[in-house]
């Protein structure tokens, strides 16, 4: 038994190209299902990969992944009916955690608002203003590009000072050196002591359009009656769950939650954000899987159909080939090559369209999209597989034909 030589494979491919080329329009229409399927696969994988990259980058931007956030709302659910009745989280809770927690070494309060910031005639609206306490810088790992960060003294003395984000500095000061200048935020005058390093975007949220000030000073200006977020950093990466249990105990005691009642606070962690994110991308993957499966199935059936037609049309050709020495497997191989090639054309068109779609999405929407090199191989692999699977039956029919009948076929 001889196996097909490289030369024969090449000849089969050449024959496949020739035969498909002579039916250009038909071939193209046949591949439509494959095109749609592969476009979907490439497009959605690109979007998900883009989101993944952005997400991973931003997660590292907003601090350690095992930081716990004690807040009045859950990240992963939006059960406002329940959470709005909860008592505010106040300094009492913060002090209790600082005093009693053995498993969290770094704890800081956090409050936020969005304001317009002014310097002389310049102003920048929609700036995220954050009031922070001790340990904030250590926990967030953010650093000044110029000047200094807030000191513990700034914080304990409630000084009217601020560290501004890159974009805020750039837009307000233009040619002036920002350090030492006074800016106005919501009617309050603050002295700039530092400018943060450039950090980029988190999706369409600009992390450089930000201002950080001592929490006491923040509350004097923007109101005392707001719920704090408390960030707590577990000392030991492997004991995060224990740390959560400890925090719950402390908070329930301070907030006097009766035994048997549910918590009236949430302990959020990045993992919860990740769960939310996974839910989102899981949905996307599901949609991709659905659309791709259906269109590849339709595409495959289209290919099978056209190959069956082709086998019938070329009955005489099959007879001739058999008469001059083509074995069953030569014919099988020839038609399989053809259907795989047909599907592959669809795959290539799909990859190009998917690529184009990803570029468009990236350019025209806030969703970042990235084409991964492996998705190209995945797309090609899928289409070739569809071509082979749906090509087997027609090819087998061709191979099984009797040469005498084929030669007398009109």
Partner 1 sequence: MSLLSCTDLVKTYQLGKLSLEVLHGLDFHVDRGEFVAIMGPSGSGKSTLMNILGCLDTPTSGQYVLDGEPVAGMTDSDLADIRNRKIGFVFQTFNLLARQSARSNVELPLIYAGVPAAKRHEMSKKVLEEVGLADRANHKPNELSGGERQRVAVARALINNPSLLLADEPTGNLDTKTSGEIMELFERLHEGGNTIVLVTHEDDIGARARRIVRLRDGMIESDRKAPRSGRDARP
Residues that bind partner 1 (CB under 8 A): 1-2, 5, 7-8, 11, 18-19, 22, 316-317, 319-330, 403-404, 407
Sign of the CA dihedral with 77 first, then 82, 83, and 84 last: positive
Residues in the chain: 410
State the minimum distance, in angstroms, from the CB of residue 367 to partner 1: 47
State the minimum distance, in angstroms, from the CB of residue 319 to partner 1: 7
Of 103 and 336, CB closest to partner 1:
336
Of 139 and 332, CB closest to partner 1:
332
Q: Which run of H or E residues covers position 363? A: helix 328-364
Of 72 and 314, CB closest to partner 1:
314
State the minimum distance, in angstroms, from the CB of residue 340 to partner 1: 19
State the minimum distance, in angstroms, from the CB of residue 329 to partner 1: 8
Of 181 and 328, CB closest to partner 1:
328
State the minimum distance, in angstroms, from the CB of residue 384 to partner 1: 23
CB of 128 closer than 8 Å to CB of 158: no
CB of 97 closer than 8 Å to CB of 104: yes
State the minimum distance, in angstroms, from the CB of residue 12 to partner 1: 9
Chain mean position to CA 263: 32
Cα separation, 308 vs 128, in Å, equals: 64
DSSP 95: H
Of 7 and 258, CB closest to partner 1:
7
Cα separation, 74 vs 266, in Å, equals: 6
CB of 369 closer than 8 Å to CB of 54: no
Q: Which run of H or E residues covers position 343? A: helix 328-364
User: What residues contact residue 219 under an 8 Å CB cut-off, 6+ apart?
Assistant: 111, 131, 226
State the minimum distance, in angstroms, from the CB of residue 317 to partner 1: 6
Which burial class, exposed, middle or buried, applies to 253 when counting CB atoms under 10 A from its CB (0-12, 13-18, 19+)? exposed
Cα separation, 400 vs 394, in Å, equals: 10
State the minimum distance, in angstroms, from the CB of residue 11 to partner 1: 5
Chain mean position to CA 256: 40
Of 250 and 331, CB closest to partner 1:
331
Of 188 and 397, CB closest to partner 1:
397
DSSP 194: E
Of 317 and 338, CB closest to partner 1:
317
């Amino acid at each position: 038994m001889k196996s097909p030589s490289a030369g024969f494979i090449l000849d089969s491919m050449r024959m496949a190209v020739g035969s498909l080329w002579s039916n250009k329009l038909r071939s193209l229409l046949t591949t439509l299902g494959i095109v749609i399927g592969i476009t979907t696969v490439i497009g959605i994988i690109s979007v998900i990969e883009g989101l993944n990259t952005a997400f991973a980058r931003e997660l590292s931007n907003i601090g350690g992944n095992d930081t716990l956030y004690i807040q009045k709302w859950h990240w992963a659910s939006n059960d406002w009916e329940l959470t709005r009745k909860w008592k505010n989280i106040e300094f009492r809770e913060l002090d209790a955690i600082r005093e009693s927690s053995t498993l969290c070494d770094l704890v800081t309060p956090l409050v936020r608002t969005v304001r317009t910031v002014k310097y002389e005639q310049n102003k920048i609206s929609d700036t995220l203003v954050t009031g922070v306490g001790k340990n904030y810088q250590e926990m967030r790992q953010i650093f000044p590009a110029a000047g200094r960060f807030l000191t513990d003294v700034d914080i304990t003395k409630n000084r009217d000072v601020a560290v501004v984000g890159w974009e805020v500095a750039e837009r307000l000061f233009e040619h002036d050196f920002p350090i030492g200048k006074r800016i106005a935020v919501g009617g309050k005058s603050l002295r700039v002591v530092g400018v943060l390093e450039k950090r980029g975007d988190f999706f369409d949220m600009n992390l450089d359009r930000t201002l950080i000030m001592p929490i006491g000073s923040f509350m004097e200006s923007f109101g005392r009656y707001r719920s704090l977020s408390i960030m707590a950093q577990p000392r030991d990466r492997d004991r995060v769950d224990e740390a959560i249990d400890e925090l719950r105990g402390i908070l329930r005691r301070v907030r006097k939650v009766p035994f048997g009642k549910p918590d009236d606070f949430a302990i959020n962690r990045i993992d919860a954000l990740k769960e939310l994110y996974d839910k989102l991308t899981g949905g996307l993957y599901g949609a991709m899987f659905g659309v791709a499966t259906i269109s590849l199935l339709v595409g495959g059936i289209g290919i099978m159909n056209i190959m069956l037609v082709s086998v019938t049309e070329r009955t005489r050709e099959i007879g001739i080939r058999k008469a001059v020495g083509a074995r069953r497997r030569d014919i099988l191989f020839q038609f399989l090559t053809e259907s795989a090639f047909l599907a592959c054309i669809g795959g290539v068109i799909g990859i190009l369209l998917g690529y184009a779609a990803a570029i468009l999405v990236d350019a025209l929407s806030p969703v970042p999209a990235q084409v991964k090199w492996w998705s190209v191989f995945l797309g090609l692999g899928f289409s070739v597989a569809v071509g082979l699977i749906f090509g087997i039956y027609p090819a087998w029919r061709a191979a099984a034909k009797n040469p005498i009948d084929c030669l007398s076929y009109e």
